[in-house]
Amino acid sequence: MKEGAVVIDNIKTNYRIAGSGPAVLVLHGWGSSCDSWKRMQNLLAKEGFFSICLDLPGFGKTQDPPPSWNLEDYLNFVEEFIERISDIYKDFGKPFFLLGHSFGGRISIKMAKRSPEKLKKLILCNAAGIRVKPGLKTRLLLLIASLGDIVFSIKPLGKIKDLARNFFYMFLRKRDYIKANQTMKEVMKNVLKEDLRPLLSDIKTETLIVWGGKDKIVPVKCAYMFKKEIKNAKLVILPANNHSPHLESPEILSKKISEFLKNNEN
């Protein structure tokens, strides 16, 4: 395993590579980094794959992007990273396999729509991107929040508005928002504005959808929505796992992924 860095759009970008063979690009989730994929990269190397996982801008050892960034900016950045890495590592040829987890799944969906010729196969692991109708608890909390904006507009109460907002996001399990710095808070809001469901029916790349059955962050019902919308897709549910099968059951996940990637592989 080897770690490196390249500068793209004036952003110093950290990445890690492992193994040799057909190339797999791994895009990690929000609040994560390539460190969380070390075990999976080693397992994929044993299965005969060359994998590369970068720290996306704002995560791990990679610098923050401008606060104006949205999902399209991340996609453009990843595509520039691919071109640069292809020049450095000849093992990383095109087309390649693309694996996106959670937030990385959002970018992967956009890439599969825009640049299908670059992909051999697509793996979406507990992928974000579908805007689901909020449940009763969430709707009540959103109502409370809207009332709270009125209350906290009163000058003496304005000083505790940020504290109250963080408390509200704790209830919604949006801890990623609380942990983020101000730049990444703005980026997160920009990213979440886009509902990717309309893009799914345009994905023609053979796709593996793999999901933790106990996921509370992106509920398993989203997995079935992905399966319904993406025509050439296979769904695997890992019933004992939550949102991060690559950390909870890396051996099982790597086995499922390698079987999918090797099937009909020339």
74-86 residue pLDDT tens: 999 999 999 999 9
Same domain, 11 and 71: yes
Same domain, 92 and 210: yes
- What pLDDT, in 10s, does the model give residues 230-243? 999 999 999 999 99
Task: Decide which of 168, 187, 206 is a domain's last residue.
Answer: 187
- Mean pLDDT score of the chain: 87
The total of structural domains in the chain comes to: 2
Cα–Cα dist 90/85, whole Å: 8
Same domain, 235 and 115: yes
Nearby residues of 223 by Cβ (< 8 Å), 6 or more positions away? 126, 209, 211, 235, 237
Q: Report whether pLDDT(250) > 50.
A: yes
Which pLDDT does position 189 carry in this prediction? Answer: 87
Cα–Cα dist 15/53, whole Å: 6
Same domain, 63 and 142: no
Question: For residue 111, what are the domain limits?
Answer: 2-131+195-262
Which residues on adjacent β-strands are paired with residue 2?
Answer: 17
Same domain, 235 and 140: no
Helical residues (DSSP H) of the chain, grouped into ranges: 38-46, 71-88, 103-114, 136-151, 161-171, 175-179, 182-192, 197-200, 221-229, 245-248, 250-262
Same domain, 53 and 157: no
Same domain, 49 and 110: yes
Q: Report whether pLDDT(206) > 90.
A: yes
Cα–Cα dist 170/131, whole Å: 19
Same domain, 171 and 222: no
Residue 94: other Cβ atoms inside 10 A: 13
> Residue 29 maps to which CATH number?
3.40.50.1820
Same domain, 103 and 228: yes
Same domain, 15 and 90: yes
Task: Decide which of 187, 210, 230 is a domain's last residue.
Answer: 187
Q: Report whether pLDDT(141) > 60.
A: no
Same domain, 58 and 183: no
Same domain, 103 and 206: yes
- What pLDDT, in 10s, does the model give residues 96-132? 999 999 999 999 999 999 999 999 999 999 999 998 7
pTM, two decimals, is 0.86
Q: Please answer whether residues 223 and 251 qualify as being in contact, where contact means their C-beta atoms are separated by less than 8 angstroms.
A: no
